[in-house]
Amino acid sequence: MKITFLGTGTSQGVPFIGCDCPVCTSKNKKDNRLRVSVWVETPEASIVIDSGPDFRYQMLRAGVRRLDAILFTHGHKDHIAGMDDIRAFNFMTKEAVPVYATHETQESLRREYSYIFQLPTYPGIPQVEMHTIHHSGSFDINGLKITPIRVLHYNLEVLGFRIGDFTYITDANFIADEELAKIRGSKALVLNALRHEKHVSHFTLTEAIEVGDKAGAEEVYFTHISHQLGLHDDVEKTLPPGFQLAYDGLVLDI
């Protein structure tokens, strides 16, 4: 399994518009973060988790030529705003792109992209094949098993996903013990770590470290990072063994 971090930034990305803080003006490429997303490649399938506003550029930058499915964690704008650009994959394959989401997230997609779902269809609009993710139980894509993990983003339920030995969770500030049990044994766990200060709907860095310890994964990578967390290289030096900041373009082989 190959994991490519397409984006590791918070909802407004880094640099933040109009900000001249040390992170936003940093020359280190690891401090430049597009909106959060990952690309998972296995022999069975090529899958992207979330299609945020940077989706088009992320596909070009990573060289994604095959897309078997998009998994959606939830319906917030920074996770769905790029879905119109799946049209390129429609043109290449002459087929609809399978989209996996809960009923709630599908409602968000239908509101945001009503023209995709209206009949009669209009030439050139994105073609999608909707699949419903239920709140419990695994599903598969081309034989690849995927286990949803339910987390809370303040009072909104968001899905993480375990795919083999890889677990991906973003936009969370609470994970119940029964959901943590689904993570245990992962070789790589990705968690959101927004900043140092308390936040209403995201883990702080300290909270994310505590969750990572409790989950017992071999390696933990942090994503959905704000400019408020600090410079990448400075924060890295403070992390315990087995923990590190993800960055755009980071590739994991599992």
Give the pLDDT mean for 226-230. 98
Phi, psi dihedral angles at 116 (to 5 degrees): -70, -35
The pLDDT of 207-226, averaged and rounded, is 97
**What's the rounded mean pLDDT across residues 14-21?**
98
Please give the model's pTM, rounded to 2 decimal places.
0.97
**What does pLDDT average to over the chain?**
97
Closest to 192 (Cα-Cα) out of 149, 133, 144:
149
pLDDT, average across residues 7-24: 98
By C-alpha distance, which of 220, 193, 252, 248 is closest to 54? 248
Count of all residues that appear for the chain in the document: 254
Say what percent of the chain tops pLDDT 70: 100
- The Cα 28–Cα 249 span in angstroms is 13
CATH number for domain 2-253, candidates 3.30.1330.10, 3.60.15.10, 3.40.50.300, 1.20.140.10: 3.60.15.10
Q: What is the mean pLDDT of residues 215-234?
A: 97
pLDDT score, position 63: 97
Q: How confident is the model over 155-189, as pLDDT tens digits? A: 999 999 999 999 999 999 999 999 999 999 999 99
DSSP reduced 3-state for 168: strand
Q: Which two tokens stand for residue 240?
A: 């315990």
**What is the Cα 208 distance to its own chain's centre?**
16
Say yes or no to pLDDT of 32 above 80: yes
pLDDT (mean) for 143-147: 96
Which pLDDT score, from 0 to 100, does residue 121 have? 84
Averaged over 94-103, what is the pLDDT? Answer: 97
pLDDT digits (tens, 9 = 90+) for 61-90: 999 999 999 999 999 999 999 999 999 999
CA atoms within 13 A on the CB side of 64: 32
Dihedral, 225, 50, 91, 4 alpha carbons, nearest 10: 50
